[in-house]
């Protein structure tokens, strides 16, 4: 069994790295520990790097298609990690989950159509709707007993006028792993009202103890026929820079409409050589590495929770059931949104995500990414504690 050093500090500056190299653009200063963008400060696994190196031995990087091994890798991974049997003919491509969501909005809805989101939620969902001249319908989540939960009574009302619903599953930023009961109830409401369900499952491999990810489309033929699953190995294996994602679309009509947008209207179906190779290697070889990663990240989460309880009781940790982000409830600090943002940047010198960017329910919250060495997490928590003491 191979060991991996997740404690290693790796300098990411001067690599055109979003998280580190454009801090000043987002925070007004480079003097913050960047814990915002949802990628990891760990090395991309060696088996992926080696697969890319092997391909580079053939020094022609011309037009390349995704062969049968691409779909097979996805099918095998879904079966062994989530017990979901995926048909090879359901799989399509996208350079990213966000582009996929935008293309689905363009392919399956019309300008003026209403699309449901569940804020606080991953903010590109909002622009995918608004920038494409569709209308956002909010079905806000409820924070209850330290977990973000769905409001089904509200959803029943909102679904009557909607064409599509975009679901964060598992939830970003709150970390909720939606249960079979929750998913079934949500899907029944959508099916009754003929609402297409777009399920962003990019964090579905990052599941913590006593939790289980259930692919939405796995819950029955009727649900599968109305569900489009968006996924990628990018969060799981730190591959976001390779721009390789995929969709699973059982409904043939939806698949044809999406592929028309992907292939004929936008011509972005080619992808890149190394993204396909990385996905195939990740899904063929990545289980042991992933299990060790999850153990390490879970310990970081527990550290933040314990630290806040002992030293920063003003901040409540919404303990995630999934993802490597933590949703921090800072409302007891009695600051408005601007004051809270200034405090974290200027006093604590921390580059977290402002909760307001996630929409309704985000005011008074911050999102922290703990997919980094524990030393970084500890330094961030120490700075936060010291900044609060100085108030």
Would you list the DSSP string of 226-252?
TEEEEE-SHHHHT-GGG--EEEE---H
Same domain, yes or no: 260 and 141: yes
Q: Is residue 72 included in any domain, yes or no?
A: yes
Per-residue CA distances from 192 to 67, 108, 163, 268 (Å): 38, 18, 12, 34
Same domain, yes or no: 35 and 111: no
Residue 207: which CATH number?
A: 3.40.640.10
Instruction: pLDDT band for 150, please (50, 70, 90 cuts).
Output: very high
Predicted pLDDT at 330: 98
Same domain, yes or no: 155 and 245: yes
Domain hosting residue 333, numbered range: 18-45+287-389
Q: Which helix (H) or strand (E) holds 380?
A: helix 374-389
Instruction: pLDDT band for 2, please (50, 70, 90 cuts).
Output: confident
Q: What does the pLDDT look like over 178-194, one tens digit per residue?
A: 999 999 999 999 999 99
* Average pLDDT for 9-13: 97
Question: CB–CB of 97/201 below 8 Å?
Answer: no
pLDDT at 391 over 90: no
**Two structure tokens written together for 17:** 């790295």
pLDDT at 359 over 90: yes
* Average pLDDT for 85-101: 98
Domain end: 285, 315, 350, which one? 285
Domain end: 285, 320, 349, which one? 285
Q: Is residue 55 included in any domain, yes or no?
A: no
Same domain, yes or no: 74 and 212: yes
Q: What does the pLDDT look like over 193-240, one tens digit per residue?
A: 999 999 999 999 999 999 999 999 999 999 999 999 999 999 999 999
Same domain, yes or no: 96 and 229: yes
Instruction: pLDDT band for 1, please (50, 70, 90 cuts).
Output: confident
Q: How many domains does one find in the chain? A: 2
Predicted pLDDT at 186: 98
Q: Is residue 145 included in any domain, yes or no?
A: yes
Instruction: pLDDT band for 118, please (50, 70, 90 cuts).
Output: very high
* Average pLDDT for 153-158: 98
Q: Which residues of 150-162 are buried (b: 16+ CB within 10 A; e: fewer)?
A: beeebbeebbeeb
User: Residue 92: left (phi > 0), alpha (psi -120 to 50), or beta?
Assistant: beta
Domain end: 285, 301, 321, which one? 285
């Amino acid at each position: 069994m191979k060991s991996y050093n997740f404690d290693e500090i790796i300098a990411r500056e001067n690599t055109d790295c979003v998280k580190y190299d454009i801090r000043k653009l987002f925070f007004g200063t480079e003097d913050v520990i960047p814990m915002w963008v949802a990628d990891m400060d760990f090395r991309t696994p060696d088996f992926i790097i080696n697969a890319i190196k092997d391909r580079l031995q053939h020094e022609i990087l011309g037009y390349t298609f995704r062969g049968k091994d691409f779909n097979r890798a996805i099918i095998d991974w879904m079966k062994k990690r989530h017990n979901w049997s995926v048909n090879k003919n359901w799989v399509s491509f996208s350079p990213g989950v966000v582009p996929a969501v935008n293309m689905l909005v363009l392919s399956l809805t019309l300008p003026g159509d209403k699309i449901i989101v569940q804020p606080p939620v991953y903010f590109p969902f909002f622009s995918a709707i608004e920038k494409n001249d569709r209308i956002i319908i909010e079905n806000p989540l409820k924070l209850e007993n330290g977990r973000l939960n769905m409001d089904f009574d509200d959803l029943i009302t909102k679904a009557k006028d909607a064409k599509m619903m975009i679901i964060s599953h598992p939830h970003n930023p709150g970390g909720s792993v939606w249960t079979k009961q929750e998913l079934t109830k949500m899907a029944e409401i959508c099916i009754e009202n003929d609402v297409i369900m777009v399920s962003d499952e990019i964090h579905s491999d990052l599941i913590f103890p006593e939790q289980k990810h259930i692919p939405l489309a796995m819950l029955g033929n009727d649900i599968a026929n109305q569900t489009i699953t968006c996924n990628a190995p990018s969060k799981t294996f730190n591959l976001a820079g390779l721009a390789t994602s995929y969709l699973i679309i059982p409904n043939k009509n939806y698949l044809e409409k999406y592929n028309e947008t992907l292939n004929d209207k936008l011509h972005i179906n080619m992808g890149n050589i190394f993204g396909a190779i990385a996905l195939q290697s990740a899904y063929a070889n990545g289980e042991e590495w992933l299990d060790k990663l999850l153990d390490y990240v879970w310990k970081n989460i527990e550290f933040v929770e314990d630290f806040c309880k002992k030293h920063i009781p003003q901040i409540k940790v919404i303990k995630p059931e999934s993802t490597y982000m933590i949703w921090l409830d800072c409302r007891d600090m009695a600051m408005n949104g601007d004051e809270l943002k200034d405090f974290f940047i200027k006093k604590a010198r921390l580059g977290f995500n402002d909760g307001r960017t996630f929409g309704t329910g985000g005011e008074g919250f911050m999102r922290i990414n703990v997919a980094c060495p524990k030393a970084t997490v500890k330094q961030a928590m120490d700075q936060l504690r010291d900044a609060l003491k100085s108030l």
